[in-house]
Amino acid sequence: MKLIYLTTNPFKLRETRIVPCDKYGLDVEAMNPDFEIYEIQAKTCAEVAGFSARYAADKLNKPCIKSDTGLYIEALGGLPGPYNAYFDKQIGVEKFLKLFENELNRKARIEHCFAYCEPSGEPVIFKDGGTGEIAKSARGKDGRWHDFFFVPDGETRTLSEIGDVDPALKASYYGHAIDDLAKWLQETKS
Which residue ranges make up each domain of the chain? 3-189
CATH topology of domain 3-189: Maf protein (3.90.950)
DSSP string, the chain: -PEEEE---HHHHHHHIIIIIIIT---EEEE--SS-------SSHHHHHHHHHHHHHHHHTS-EEEEEEEEEEGGGTT-EETTHHHHHHHTHHHHHHHHTTT-S--EEEEEEEEEEE-TTS--EEEEEEEEEEE-SS---SSSSGGGGTEEETT-SS-HHHHHHH-HHHHHHTT-SHHHHHHHHHHHHH-
Look at residue 15 in the predicted model and tell me its pLDDT. 66
The question of whether 68 is a catalytic residue gets the answer yes
The residue from 27, 34, 58, 68 that is catalytic is 68
Express each pLDDT in 116-165 by its tens digit. Answer: 999 999 999 999 999 999 999 999 998 889 999 999 999 999 999 999 99
Express each pLDDT in 160-182 by its tens digit. Answer: 999 999 988 988 899 999 889 98
Q: Hey, which of 26-30, 34-38, 98-102 has the most confident mean pLDDT?
A: 98-102
pTM for the predicted model, two decimal places: 0.87
